Amino acid sequence: MKTQRKRIVITGVGICSAIGQNKQDFTKGLFDCKSVIGSSDEFNRFFENCYAAQIKESIEYPELDAELVSQFDKVTLWGYKVGLEALQDAKLADSSRLQSMSAMMGVSGAATEPLMPVITGEAVPMDMLANTGNYGATAAIITNLLGLGGGYDVVATACTASINALGLGFDAIQNSKTDQVLIVGSEPLYLPTFSGFKVLDAMADGPCSPFSAEPGMSIGEGAGALVLESYESAKERGVLIYAEILGYATSCDAYHETSPEPLGEGATLVMSRALNNADLCAEKIEYINAHGTGTSANDRAETAAINKVFSQKQVPVSSTKSFFGHNISAAGVMEMIACLVTLPEKKILPTLNFSTPRKYVDLNIVANDFLDQDVNVFMKNNYAFGGNNCSVIGSMKVASQPVSSYDKKQVVITGVGQISALGIGFEAFKQGLADSVDTSSEVHCQIQKCDNKAPLHWLIQSDNVLSAMRSHLPINDAGELKFQVHSVAAFNARKILRGVDTRKLHPISLYTMAALETTLHSAGLKIGKQNKDEFGMVLGLSKGPQTAIDNFMSSMNPEPSNARTSEFPKALYNSVSSGCATIKGMRGYNTTLATGHNASLGALIQGYEVVRQNIQPCMFAGGSDEQALGFSLVMHAAINEASVNYQADITSFKPYDESSAGYVMAEGAALVMFEAKHRAQQRGAHIYAQVSGYGRASASDRFNNNGQTRSQALASAIGAALKEAELESNQLDMICGTSVGFKDADIDELNGVKMGLGEVVRNIPYSNFNSYFGFSESASGCLNLLGVIVAMEDGVIYPVKNSQHCLLDGFDLVTQTTREKTVNNALLVGMNEAGNCYAIVVSKS
């Protein structure tokens, strides 16, 4: 049965760029055909002949206290500025609707600015490090400052991040989780990004000239924001509508970590799928705003792809990067805004600096001056390292195209896999819960530097970082820190990953691949040439590929020109998911969410949504973490983190118990495979469980005493999940939490569950499996889902390990002994360190 999609429109924009710091100046700069790519004094200190499009004027934040401004990085401040402007433009800035409004943010340079002083020999700003040193912190701060309470996700797919975020917002509105979503892309230009592209020899020797002249790119910086809204809501409010979003798609080349597939196969697939999702034929597209970086590899592949998809029509094509450079994660949303402010004037943006087209370019390039043409339906494309592709189709004339539809699917789990301290695979996981043995080990870390070298982590070269660690961590007189961790035991990677050169994989990629292989095995499937487009992946990350990040960042010190070219692409968060796709040949939907603790729950939600809307038949979703002790300890010291357990007694990790000493750090990866129920039944697959509904909400009280608390946010998420699942709270047979044994966090979760379910909570068994395998920051949410599946399959709920009594009354906490129970419906809940909350209803199929 076909389900008609909602019409989704854009009702607000915010922009900050080298051309102009607001919509008016930005629009004027575009119509003046003004290229702001110029010689960069900042980067000419380290390299020769550097060009970039940089914001040189100071930016004011009159709404923020000066002390707050000093504690935030530019990623956060610029994102806040454009987000506020977009809300004001949409007449939502002071609206009660903000409490249910979601945010999807695309970033790439997050958690970078506070680290830069180590490279330049200056003091690390510890307040800034504490506030923005974690990748997902930007979204938490921006949503709190703006008062948004509908939950958020952070898309980390490099150059497609912000336009991919738009797709996630589109999906959230389609499932009636919210009427409005704020989309933000923010990308200041930092030295590591510039160095990475420079040492790869990707830069132009002057302002870039996409599709013509000498190949090469020019990097820019800036931020952009859009308000997405259901058409019905926009009509009801009577606000200006810029355009309608007709559909989108994302895919992966599955080819190489930096180079696009040379024949443009991945770009062809993503454009074709965007057209299919929008129920449009290629002939409907009247203009393509291309990715158009100016590099030979991109422009050749993009030319080939456009010619394949639009073989019957010479569609006008242009690249906006010739105006303000390549803005990496913010590129998509900024280029979309460029379309929104020029197309209403019946003019198509040109490609500036265009001379003679390269010999392989036979496109209808709009060159140097605006083309007079009344455009309705247009396409916006962006591509990224790792082969991540995204295509969005918009219409300037709302409701001029038939609304698209999809076959709504029931979504089941047909594959489960993991690697953790409990072992590898689902059976090892089940046995580990049953045996309940101690899988921890003691580590000894030297918190010191010798001859200006810091063996544990390069950031400890900074005296104030070292001082903070000595002040806030239980380091002994010898400069040593001893504590317990749950680590993945050594294993024969080549036995599991046959045909893969595992020597080239950093731990986080190795763990993700191991989880993927065990998930595929349990699903009874293989990926080959005939079905490679059927599989996609959404991966949640917290601290990401820290080994690669550390290798790359330390290689820049003291000489940025020595940056390791091999580590730059691996240091990008999306390298893990896209790397797995490349190894397995998966070309379907692919994205990375870097939202922090329990990011795998956000990945599960989006993986479910993709299959539910029949965008992709099979999706792997989950999370992965490597043991990044160096950076983790630095951040624990910066924040003065009280939730981490440094005690020698491993049994002191006891979630929800009054005497718990916090969590024990861990690593690992967990994935499930989502599939449409009818498809699973047709192939006779084993169905582990069915996802029936989800909810997402976020705390908004950090800077506003009247904002939503963490407990209130979790209650809201639970309500949304039960509503979609069409269940009453008394129909739940189990609750699975993911809290970390820190009293404040435990109380927030317990109170949120009680608010969401009411007094019936005292009759529902409540468990949490983190103390079996340790707290793996992003993956623990998915690992706990596996614990729920064990309960459904075996009819037993394993207790909260080490816990004796619940610190709050009114809960049926499962402690000390296994509980026999038939579990038909379970509620999985969790939140990240900043109060972004998730709730997922899982049922027996």
* CB of 641 closer than 8 Å to CB of 387: no
* CB of 460 closer than 8 Å to CB of 449: yes
What is the distance between the alpha carbons of residues 193 and 420, in angstroms, rounded to a whole number? Answer: 32
What is the distance between the alpha carbons of residues 804 and 659, in angstroms, rounded to a whole number? Answer: 9
3 state SS of 825: strand
* DSSP code of residue 221: -
Q: Which two tokens stand for residue 148?
A: 């948004």
3 state SS of 444: strand
Neighbours of 519 (CB within 10 A): 26
What is the distance between the alpha carbons of residues 724 and 717, in angstroms, rounded to a whole number? Answer: 11
How far apart, in Å, do the first and last CA atoms of the chain sit? Answer: 20
What is the distance between the alpha carbons of residues 178 and 176, in angstroms, rounded to a whole number? Answer: 5
3 state SS of 223: strand
Q: Which two tokens stand for residue 725?
A: 């699942």
What is the distance between the alpha carbons of residues 372 and 342, in angstroms, rounded to a whole number? Answer: 11
Catalytic position from the list 16, 50, 159, 618? 159
Q: Which two tokens stand for residue 45?
A: 């200190």
Neighbours of 200 (CB within 10 A): 16
Catalytic position from the list 50, 252, 326, 806? 326
What is the value of pTM for the model shown?
0.98
Find the DSSP H helices in 325-461.
Answer: 331-342, 426-435
What pLDDT is stored for residue 452 in this prediction?
Answer: 63
Q: Who's near 310: CB < 8 A, 6+ residues apart?
A: 282, 285, 288
Q: Who's near 714: CB < 8 A, 6+ residues apart?
A: 697, 748, 749, 752, 753, 755, 756, 829, 831, 837, 839
What is the distance between the alpha carbons of residues 500 and 505, in angstroms, rounded to a whole number? Answer: 9
326 is catalytic: yes
* DSSP code of residue 370: -
Q: What is the largest CA-CA distance in the chain?
A: 76
What pLDDT is stored for residue 451 in this prediction?
Answer: 65
Give the residue carrying structure tokens 């200041």.
188
What pLDDT is stored for residue 453 in this prediction?
Answer: 65
The residues with which 484 forms a beta bridge, in sequence order, are 442
Please state, in angstroms and as integers, the Cα–Cα distance from residue 389 to each residue in 265, 382, 463, 797, following that order. Answer: 11, 6, 42, 42
Mean pLDDT of the chain: 96
What pLDDT is stored for residue 170 in this prediction?
Answer: 98
Please state, in angstroms and as integers, the Cα–Cα distance from residue 266 to each residue in 235, 580, 798, following that order. Answer: 37, 16, 45
Catalytic position from the list 50, 291, 618, 837? 291
Q: Which two tokens stand for residue 331?
A: 């590129």
- Amino acid identity at 671: L
444 is catalytic: no
pLDDT, tens digit, 9 for 90 and up, residues 221-245: 999 999 999 999 999 999 999 999 9
SS (H, E, C) 685-753: CCCCEEEEEEEEEECCCCCCCCCCCHHHHHHHHHHHHHHHHCCCHHHCCEEECCCCCCHHHHHHHHHHH
3 state SS of 473: coil
What pLDDT is stored for residue 272 in this prediction?
Answer: 98
* CB of 830 closer than 8 Å to CB of 598: yes
Output the CA torsion 456→459→461→467 (10° steps): -90
At residue 132's C-alpha, the angle toward residues 131 and 136, to 5°, is 115
Preceding omega of 558 cis (within 30 degrees of 0): yes
What is the distance between the alpha carbons of residues 667 and 507, in angstroms, rounded to a whole number? Answer: 10
Q: What is the CA radius of gyration of the chain?
A: 25
Exposure of 689 in the CB half-sphere (CA atoms within 13 A): 27
- Name the nearest CA neighbour of 830 among 793, 773, 783, 765: 783
Which residues of the chain register pLDDT less than 70?
450-454
457 is catalytic: no
- Name the nearest CA neighbour of 392 among 247, 268, 590: 247
Q: Which helix (H) or strand (E) holds 559?
A: none
